[in-house]
Structure 1
Amino acid sequence: MFEPVPQFEEEKSRLRQRAFEQRKAILRADWADMAKVAANHFLAGVPLSASDVVALYWPIRDEIDCKPLLTALMDSGQPVCLPVVLGDGEPLEMRLWEQGQPLYPSGFGTLAPAETAPVVEPDLVVIPLLAFDRLGTRLGYGKGYYDRTLAGYAKKPLLVGYAFSGQELDFIPREAHDLPLDMLVTEAGVQKFPAA
């Protein structure tokens, strides 16, 4: 479905390497505080109705910890779902995480609700990322899971990047299938991007 353009892939590969190094340079001692501040910015600045289903993720590697946000949303009764990787080349399955239900390992070091949890299409997707630019272009890990998932939805959800402010790059090339972010939340605040 998504055929990579060779020159874009080469550039994105170079940018991924730079982004990994840039993210790794963020002082680990500050991570927990930055995650709490980012969660507060999200709760104060991202529009949500009580019935909106929010897709979050279980953080891996050096990603900003979204568990403070996850906990706050769950405690407030906001419907939350988590992604499950079904296989290479497959879209993610978003499973509703119901209060009191356990999470299980679901690959790549992530946790997700059980196979019996309801599968949903979220109204808002909080997207993990490796880097972002000032135009709202997101650089992921290159597997295309979110691109495939979003392409299959009946309606486009609000796309919110969640990251450390230190993950910004000057420019990230955007291919036809790359959906830009609507908003970005970092420890520095909430940024809205104009519709592309």
Structure 2
Amino acid sequence: MSGKCYASPPCLAAEVDPTYFDPLAVDPDQARDVARWRKAERARLRGERDMLSVAERQAAGAALARNLCAFLSDRFDLRGRVFSGYWPIKGEPDLRPLLADLHRQGVCVALPLVEVKAAPLVFRRWTPETRMVRGDWNIPVPPPEAEAVTPEIALAPLVGWTDDSFRLGYGGGYFDRTLASLSPRPFTIGVGFQSARLATIYPQPHDIRLDAIVTEAGVQAAISA
């Protein structure tokens, strides 16, 4: 084995390297095992996130926002482009001040929302003056009369993340379903806490790699824009 290229058949790969996982060789038992593992990891990571103090969460969020702002400035001319953020829930880093700054700079800021269960997300334009309404999971979202847009660059909140740019989300599958449906696919940046790093999420065929990962510690992974 050299450079993580496997010469042995997949059935023997785990004996060569215990971290090996073939996402194309999924059977029902394996899929159930992965689903159970992910559920346990989500609970663990969310529990750790909930234990952060308000001051720790605010400091990490501010550092993440600085790193994300620097990354965006280095990679993109955002003026006039559609940028999707998110409304923070469940202890996620609060990047709403950054979204307001982007709006003032002439960026078209959008927020995702569930319009139809088990379907791709839709995106509506947001400004700091937008009158928000309650959406799915009671998350504030722009109202139905807000302009529908398609993001060119999108943030993806992370419960967990890996060095090879896979994301552990909340388990609903909405974000992967959305990315798979968009053409062209937006440049997608995972944002979350450094402590949520995982060795692997045991990627499944439906999992989609992100284009970059940014935490309070900096840019952890990125491809060329």
Q: Same fold (TM over 0.5)?
A: yes
Unaligned runs of 5+ in 1: none
Q: Give the whole-Å Cα distance in 1 for the aligned partners of 2:45 and 2:64.
A: 20
Which one of the candidate residues 109, 112, 123 is aligned to 2:141? 112
Does 2:139 match 1:84? no
Report the CA distance between 1:99 and its aligned residue.
5.8
Q: Deviations over 1:17-64 (max 9, x none)?
A: 222223223343221122122111111112222122111110001111
Does 2:76 match 1:48? yes
Report the CA distance between 1:194 and its aligned residue.
4.8
Q: Could you say what secondary structure the match of 2:137 adopts?
A: coil
Does 2:53 match 1:39? no
Which residue of the partner structure matches residue 94 of structure 2?
A: 65
Unaligned runs of 5+ in 2: 1-26
Asked whether the 8 Å contact 2:132–2:143 carries over to 1, the reply is yes
Q: Larger relative CO (CA 8 A, sep 6+): 1 or 2? A: 1
Q: Deviations over 1:102-132 (max 9, x none)?
A: 2222132422211011211101110012111
Q: Could you say what secondary structure the match of 1:94 adopts?
A: strand
Asked whether the 8 Å contact 2:125–2:149 carries over to 1, the reply is yes
Which residue of the partner structure matches residue 185 of structure 1?
A: 214
Asked whether the 8 Å contact 1:96–1:120 carries over to 2, the reply is yes
Which residue of the partner structure matches residue 129 of structure 2?
A: 100
The higher radius of gyration belongs to 2
Which residue of the partner structure matches residue 5 of structure 2?
A: none
Asked whether the 8 Å contact 1:60–1:109 carries over to 2, the reply is no
Report the CA distance between 1:75 and its aligned residue.
2.1
Which TM-score applies when normalising by structure 1?
Answer: 0.89
Which one of the candidate residues 22, 37, 44 is aligned to 1:11? 37
Moved more, 126-135 or 102-111: 102-111
Asked whether the 8 Å contact 2:132–2:142 carries over to 1, the reply is yes
Report the CA distance between 1:88 and its aligned residue.
2.5
Which one of the candidate residues 175, 189, 199 is aligned to 1:170? 199
Asked whether the 8 Å contact 2:126–2:146 carries over to 1, the reply is yes
